[in-house]
Structure 1
Amino acid sequence: MPKPIRPEDVLPDGVDRTTLGGLEVRKGAVAAFVANVKQLDDAEPGSAEHDEIVEQLRQLVPTLRAVGVLDVFQPRSAAVAELINGV
């Protein structure tokens, strides 16, 4: 019978990164992605801030895939879904 996986089973205390699916994954990457998605709504499209947020999101997509987030969740925002599918 499967047992629940706790955060410390994935990253023990004091460890900031791990390798999943051949990709180095940094602690905090999923939270950073979520925070940036939330900020995207407040950034004016075409502005430097908007472009920086979009670029950061693009850089984090491979991590979301490696962790498996995109296997179990899909974004509510069509723009974010399009961004993810474009990476």
Structure 2
Amino acid sequence: MQNTTSASDMLADGTDFGVLNGVEVRKGTVAAWVANAKKLESLRPTDPGYADLAAHLRQEAVKVKAVGVFDILTPRSPQLAAIIDGL
């Protein structure tokens, strides 16, 4: 019995997306979401681009949730917590 899951178990080589919990998730989605979350943390709510970035994070959070990230990790920032609240 195998006790670990590898990246190729989740998404076979040559495959660009998978369906997890009924949601189509493209490879790189979690990494992109984290990168954008870090960008949001460097902005103030009044900065240009903040609202668009927050909206994008909210839209993509559904996919990150489907992967299970929010089942084991909780955002430290109130801004990110508010974005994923209610998913």
Query: TM-score with structure 2 length normalisation?
Result: 0.88
Structure 2: which amino acid aligns with 1:67?
V
Measured against aligned partners, the alpha-carbon deviations of 1:28-53 in whole angstroms (never above 9, x if no partner) come to 11111100111012224234411121
Runs of 4+ in 1 over 4 A off after TM superposition: none
Compute the RMSD of aligned alpha carbons: 1.5
- Is 2:2 the partner of 1:9? no
The equivalent of 2:64 in structure 1 is 64
Establish whether residue 20 from structure 1 lines up as the match of residue 3 from structure 2: no
- 2:49 is paired with a residue whose SS is helix
2:46 matched to 1:85?
no
Normalising to structure 1: TM-score of the pair?
0.88
Q: Equivalents in 2 of 1:62, 1:37: separation in Å?
A: 14
- Alignment coverage as a number of residue pairs: 87
What amino acid is aligned across from residue 60 of structure 1 in structure 2?
E
Unaligned runs of 5+ residues in structure 1 are none
Matched-pair identity in %: 41
